[in-house]
Structure 1
Amino acid sequence: MDAGLLAQYAVIALAVLVSAGFVAKRQFPGLVRRLRIAIALPMVREGRPPWLRRLGLRIAPPSRVIDAACGGCNSCGPSSPRQH
């Protein structure tokens, strides 16, 4: 196989993976969150090498902090109107 054709396939595969990740994050945020937790949890356990724990912390989703005073929607501040 030609090296140029192999590079073209690699770029297309990368574009497809990025697109699939974006769609999954937009359409299925709960599933993506659970998947990130499932991947990160074994990495951050005690006894793991420091580099693996740092990687697990980067993969882990941000914690959900619910502010009971305002209802807990976590979108503080005024929202800007959507442009169509």
Structure 2
Amino acid sequence: MSAGLLLQYAVVALAAAASVLVVLHKRFPGTTRRLRVALALPLLRAGRPGWMRALGRWLAPAPTTTGKDCGGCDSCG
């Protein structure tokens, strides 16, 4: 397999993954929020290196002040 074809497959795979993430975020904001929390919490534990904690802060969703039934899309305010 040539390098050009491999690069083409990689670009298509990245575009497909980005598309899935956008659709997930638009259609299921609550699920996306829970997934981001689940990914961020292990990175934010005490004793982790600074770069891991910074990545966890970047991944963590912004805190919300809405009710428990809200999906977190932030379109109401």
TM-based fold match above 0.5: yes
Residue 65 (structure 1) shift: 2.5
Q: Could you tell me which residue of structure 2 aligns to residue 59 of structure 1?
A: 59
Structure 1 gap ranges (5+) = 67-72, 76-84
Structure 2 gap ranges (5+) = 67-74
Q: Deviations over 1:34-68 (max 9, x none)?
A: 000000001101111111101100000000124xx
Residue 5 (structure 1) shift: 0.6
TM-score, normalised by the number of residues in structure 1:
0.77
Report which structure shows greater RCO (CA 8 Å, sep ≥6). 2
CA gap of 1:47–1:74, structure 2 versus 1, over 3 A, is farther
| Runs of 4+ displaced beyond 4 Å | none
CA distance in 2, matches of 1:60, 1:50: 15
TM-score, normalised by the number of residues in structure 2:
0.84
Q: Could you tell me which residue of structure 2 aligns to residue 26 of structure 1?
A: 26
* Percent identity for Structure 1 against Structure 2: 51
- Structure (1 or 2) with the greater helix fraction: 2
